[in-house]
Structures are given as structure tokens and as C-alpha cells.
Structure 1
């Protein structure tokens, strides 16, 4: 037993030295313990909360349904953020889907092809995303439900080519989460949110009800 004490003391000293070494790699006047948290300290708790309340599960489920039922991508002409007729038709389909789920938020990402400088394409991608958001809001979607648009510029091409490529010139709309202030969300009724429209679609319309289209 007496032989263990020196070993324990030596081990403690080594651990203390290692901790000092880690701290000494930072600037002399940095806050004590600043190396412990790299900005992700609360992520485990946050993710656990999201899973326990069903937010992650049902956000993924709704995103899969959105991708299955609605085109999520529109394309643009070279060096343009102008929406053509095909793009507007796709955005109307997106708006019809988004309108069914007032509790859900969406995000629009802008992209460009690889022609031109990174800075110019960053701005062009943002203009494209803003054009898509503006059209969605013109279809009655609240801008508060369309999260801040993001531009990836030319950093995420679908096709790796230095030539003009329409498939790279695009915006992509994605499900991003839930509106925190909505009462259904506050009650944690995520399953009801996702499957509500499936239940409604099973109801047989009454005679004389107006038909879609024409």
C-alpha cells in the first residue's frame, strides 16, 4: 500500500503538467479554462432535447416527404438571378406544400456554376436565393418562415466543369425546422403536424364541392 502512494502522486503530477502544457499553448492572457469549450459544449444537451421532443425525427420525416412530393431545385440562365416560367412553376408547387404546414420553417440555398470569381459568384448565389424567397412570399408564404437565405456560390457544384453548366446554377429549398412560437410546436405535437395532411386527404369530398383544376 505504501508503494502505491508515490505512484499516485507521480501520476497526478503528470496529469497536472499535461494540463499546464495544454493551457500554455494558448496566449498568456487568455481566460482560464477557455480551451475546454470549443463552442460545442451544449450540443449534446441540445440534441438530446430535440430528440426527446420529437423535433429531429419529424423534421427529417417532413424533409423526406417534401423531397418526394415537390421539386426542391430551380435553375437559372448564365449570370442571371431572373426566374423563368419553369422556375416559377416549381416555386408555386413549393409554396403549395409550405402553405400546408404553418408550423414549419424552410431555408433556400443559392448556387452558381464555376465560371467567374468566388466573390462574384457568392453575391450571385445570394441574389438567386433572394429571388426564390421573394417569389415564395408573393405566393402568400410569410417571410418569417423562410430562414435567412444562404449562398454557397460556386463551392458546391453538381457537375465539376469550368464551363457554363445549368445544373450548377440553382437554388435548393429545404426543410430547416419548426417555428418555435407556434402553439402546436410548443405542445410538442410533431406527429400531428407531419401526418395531419395525410388524414385530411382521406376524407371524401362532399357532393357539389369544387374540384381542383379546370
Structure 2
């Protein structure tokens, strides 16, 4: 009698217990067992790009800043590119060549020493120096648009003293070349494949002068 009651209790508990992993897999759509929460994300990403819900330019700009040094620094009251700056710009040029449909903008900055009018001019000279160097690496000037100088108005470190970190240019993705609309047409896979193939080869740079 006790054994019968015990077995009946087990049946009752089993009936109330959640379904097993096997049953969930058996009763679900194919592929759901390997879904970690991102199932369908590639399709969603493509739709968002084509409908303007997601800015590919922002994503690509973030990737650029994370994979290469987007900032170079300058000596006091100078727009000359030293060896460290040139090495950083060669890495920028190598990255930019992978994306011929993308345009870039160079922003010039200064520290807070000197008057604002002079510093705005100095920031522009620094931006021009970067563009000239990138052009010498084989990057078309038509893709390096709208040089901007913020002068002393956007310091990283607020100090009236000379500050290397404030004397800089910043290169950012600004948009797309009109004759290369493939990203906006949702053909991102073509870019990924091109990037993958390029990464297998040896990276070379064209040595240029300022």
C-alpha cells in the first residue's frame, strides 16, 4: 500500500515538473537549441540598416577607433608629424584602404596656450598635415572631407599650461562615397568577405612625406 502511494506521488510530481530539455528540443523549431539569444540578428541588422534604424557609419567609426589609433599628437606650437604620429597614420591608412566606400573627417585641436584665433588656425594646419600624409599613403583626397578645427575649444585636459594630450587631431568616419552605395543596400557581407581576405595578406604601406 505504501509502495503504491509512493509511486503515485512520483507520477504526480513528474506531471507538475517542467518539461525536460529533450522534450523542449523535440517540440521546438529547428535550430532553437543552439540559439543563445541572437537567433535572427543578422537579418534584423540588415533590415535596420536599410530602413535607417541603425547607423552603419556610427558602428564603423567605433570599430575604427577601437582597431587603430584615431588620434595623433603634436609638439607645442607645431603642425609637424613626428615618427610616432606617422606610424599611427600609416595604420590609419592601412585600415581606410579596406573600405573604399567610406569617407573620413579629420578634426584639429590645440591646447589652451595662446589666443583662440591663432589656435583655430593651428588646429586647421594640423588637420591638413594629417590629410596630406594620408594622401601620400594612397588615400584619395576626395574621401578626406570637411577638415575641421576646434582649436582650443575642446580640450581633453582643462589646463592653461601646455598639454600634449590636447594638441591632437582625431580621424573619424563621416559617411559614404556616393558612388559606393553597397553598405546602404544591405550588402554588408561583401565588405566582411573583402575584409577577411585582405586580413590574410601581408600589410604594406607606401612611405610618404609630409
Q: Sort the TM-score into its range (normalised by shorter chain).
A: 0.5 to 0.7
1:191 aligns with: 188
Give 1:194 deviation, angstroms.
4.9
Q: Which has the larger radius of gyration?
A: 2
What RMSD, in angstroms, separates the aligned Cα atoms of the two structures? 2.4
Q: Is the 8 A contact 2:49 2:56 kept in 1?
A: no
Q: What whole-Å deviation, never above 9, does each CA across 1:132-176 have from its counterpart, x for those lacking one?
A: 000000000000000121000000000000000000000000011
> Are 2:176 and 1:178 equivalent residues in the alignment?
yes
Structure-2 change in CA distance of 1:193 and 1:64 (3 Å): farther
Give 1:56 deviation, angstroms.
4.8
Of the three residues 141, 150, 153, the one matched with 2:151 is: 153
2:77 aligns with: 79
1:122 aligns with: 120
Q: Is the 8 A contact 1:54 1:188 kept in 2?
A: no
Greater CA deviation, 168-177 or 190-199?
Answer: 190-199
Q: Is the 8 A contact 2:94 2:203 kept in 1?
A: no
1:137 aligns with: 135
Structure-2 change in CA distance of 1:212 and 1:104 (3 Å): closer
Aligned residues: 157
Q: What whole-Å deviation, never above 9, does each CA across 1:81-117 have from its counterpart, x for those lacking one?
A: 0000000000000000000000000000000000000
TM-score by length of 2: 0.68
Secondary structure of 2:157's counterpart equals: coil
TM-score by length of 1: 0.67
Q: What are the ranges of 5 or more consecutive residues in structure 1 without an aligned counterpart?
A: 1-49
